Amino acid sequence: MRVTQSMVSANSLRNISSSYNKLNDLSNQVSSGKKITKPSDDPVVAMKGMFYRSNVSEVEQYQRNLSEGYLWMDNSEASLEQANTGLQRIRELLVKGKNDTNSEAERTAIAQEIEEIKKDLVTVANTKVNGKYAFHGTDISTPLVTDGDPPQVAANVADPSIDNYTVQVSSGINLKINVSPTAFSQEMFDVVQGIQEKMENNDTDGLDDLLSRLDTVTNNLTTERSELGARYNRLELVETRLDSQEVLANKVLSDNEDVDMEKAITNLSVQESVHNAALSVAAKIIQTSLIDFLR
């Protein structure tokens, strides 16, 4: 077969073009840090990358859900602590008011302090987290307690259907992050109102019974607080597991998509040398005289 100048030129240009493409691919790998820049570069890597990236996104969403859970539980814990402090103070005032040495004016002063604590309990029971009522279960748009003498707790607090406000913390796993609506019961506010009225009327009859009822509602509040603490501990365990999953998911994604930078830079340097050699050789073998083109 006769080799003509045009054949030599065409082959040289085709090889130089191929070299340019390889140089471009390696340059893209070094600049982007990725093995491929489009699915057609390697369909298998691209397909696996979509799956691995989905796993990473899923774990990140669960971690955002955990953040909401922590926010909800932290606010609930602080509110229960405040409510417990208020109830303990009412107990101290009740024990003090039972003493026969107290005058009517002193019991009136006690009643006034209990009134302020009662208002604070209403405020605590209607605590909001991100604009949602924290102690009314899934009925997050309605306050748990309305003002009154005594304050009135919503009638649906015992409805099991509103008890659990949950967030998804893993595939198929939903964790309750709220305190049961029954923590702030009607009995609590009835007892506080009863103690206040006894002090206002300078009446000591029945205070022992009110003291016993107050201890009961305080214990119920403490029980809810303990349960919240147990679920908080579980939330921390879930967070630890998700952190491990995030590390593994990102590692798998990196192994699939990220380029070995040292190897890529070496290959790029080699390809640059090959490309420069190809250009040099092509310049020497391709003749540009008119006679050469006419042969």
On whether residue 49 sits in a domain, the answer given is no
C-alpha span between 106 and 93 (Å, rounded) = 11
Residue 207 and residue 268 share a domain: no
CB distance 126 to 133 below 8 Å: yes
Residue 76 and residue 218 share a domain: yes
CB distance 271 to 109 below 8 Å: no
Report pTM: 0.74
Binning pLDDT at 50, 70 and 90, where does residue 278 land? low
Residue 247 and residue 206 share a domain: yes
| pLDDT at residue number 279 | 66
On whether residue 173 sits in a domain, the answer given is yes
On whether residue 50 sits in a domain, the answer given is no
pLDDT beyond 90 at 89: yes
Backbone angles phi, psi at 162, to 5 degrees: -110, 5
| pLDDT at residue number 247 | 86
C-alpha span between 239 and 62 (Å, rounded) = 9
On whether residue 52 sits in a domain, the answer given is no
| pLDDT at residue number 268 | 62
CB distance 175 to 62 below 8 Å: no
| pLDDT at residue number 53 | 78
On whether residue 41 sits in a domain, the answer given is no
Average pLDDT score over residue span 241-254: 83
Report the candidate in 231, 253, 257, 249 with the shortest Cα–Cα distance to residue 174: 231
| DSSP H helices in the chain | 5-32, 43-98, 104-125, 186-200, 207-257, 261-285, 290-294
C-alpha span between 295 and 281 (Å, rounded) = 21
C-alpha distance from residue 14 to each of 24, 56, 100 (Å) = 15, 42, 110
- Asked if the peptide bond before residue 151 counts as cis, ω within 30 degrees of 0, the response is no
The residue written with tokens 């909800």 in the block is: 72
Residue 208 and residue 67 share a domain: yes
On whether residue 44 sits in a domain, the answer given is no
Residue 289 and residue 153 share a domain: no
C-alpha span between 201 and 185 (Å, rounded) = 25
| pLDDT at residue number 169 | 85
Residue 166 and residue 212 share a domain: yes
CB distance 163 to 189 below 8 Å: no
Residue numbers of the domain that contains 210: 61-253
pLDDT beyond 70 at 92: yes
Instruction: Say whether 41 sits in a helix, a strand or coil.
Output: helix
Binning pLDDT at 50, 70 and 90, where does residue 85 land? very high
On whether residue 220 sits in a domain, the answer given is yes
Q: Residue 135: CA atoms inside 13 Å, Cβ hemisphere, count?
A: 28
Cα–chain-centroid distance for residue 75? Answer: 15
pLDDT beyond 90 at 24: no
Number of domains comprising the chain: 2
Report the candidate in 120, 119, 141, 121 with the shortest Cα–Cα distance to residue 132: 141
Which tokens in the block code for residue 212? 């016993």
Binning pLDDT at 50, 70 and 90, where does residue 128 land? very high
Report the candidate in 153, 176, 149 with the shortest Cα–Cα distance to residue 163: 176
Average pLDDT score over residue span 151-179: 88
Average pLDDT across the chain, whole number? 83
Binning pLDDT at 50, 70 and 90, where does residue 126 land? very high
Residue 149 and residue 113 share a domain: yes
| pLDDT at residue number 221 | 94
Residue 191 and residue 271 share a domain: no
| pLDDT at residue number 19 | 65
Residue 279 and residue 169 share a domain: no
Residue 247 and residue 268 share a domain: no
| pLDDT at residue number 224 | 92
| pLDDT at residue number 52 | 77
Residue 228 and residue 94 share a domain: yes
Average pLDDT score over residue span 67-85: 94
Burial of 277 (0-12, 13-18, 19+ CB in 10 A): exposed
On whether residue 15 sits in a domain, the answer given is yes
